[in-house]
Amino acid sequence: ITVDVSSKGMTAAQVQEGAVSVGANVRIIDESTVGVSMGEGITRSDLASLLSGAFGLTDADLAADESLMHVDPAVAREGEILTHPIFRMHRSETQMLRYLKALENRDLSLNHSMISLGSCTMKLNATSEMIPVTWPELCDIHPF
């Protein structure tokens, strides 16, 4: 997120100095703006430390909205998820992506079959036959 700290009477350098004091880091965008990035592993304690150290906020409400913590039973999943054995075989994102790439490589597509049949013909076109392609009347017909 991007935060304009000028309304708090702070500079971006002051915010960064405060963030460093609690073991966090913010990106200075300009004199009054900082960028803050948070990953999935951030806890409420981490957020409270950042807010107090970097922004001087000690009484921030970090309570989550209760409505966001529950799934409506009408749309809740009833069955198991990811039960196919393939999800047990590949235990990391990298392994799963390699599996998906292997599936993609098995797929027959035009660039692996039909188009390559015509490529030898295209290579035989004389250069002089290709010159008109460079003419502005032909290659610059698009209005943009």
pLDDT at 85: 93
pLDDT at 101: 92
pLDDT at 141: 77
Which residues are bridge partners to 2 per DSSP? Answer: 35
pLDDT at 131: 81
Copy the structure tokens of residue 91.
């235990």
Residue 7's alpha-carbon distances to 1, 12, 140, in angstroms, are 16, 12, 50
One pLDDT digit (tens) per residue for the chain, 144 residues: 777 777 788 899 999 999 999 988 889 999 989 888 888 788 888 888 988 998 888 888 888 777 777 888 899 888 898 899 999 999 899 999 999 999 988 887 766 766 655 555 555 666 677 788 888 888 777 766
Residue 127's alpha-carbon distances to 16, 117, 130, 137, in angstroms, are 60, 21, 5, 19
pTM: 0.45
pLDDT at 116: 59
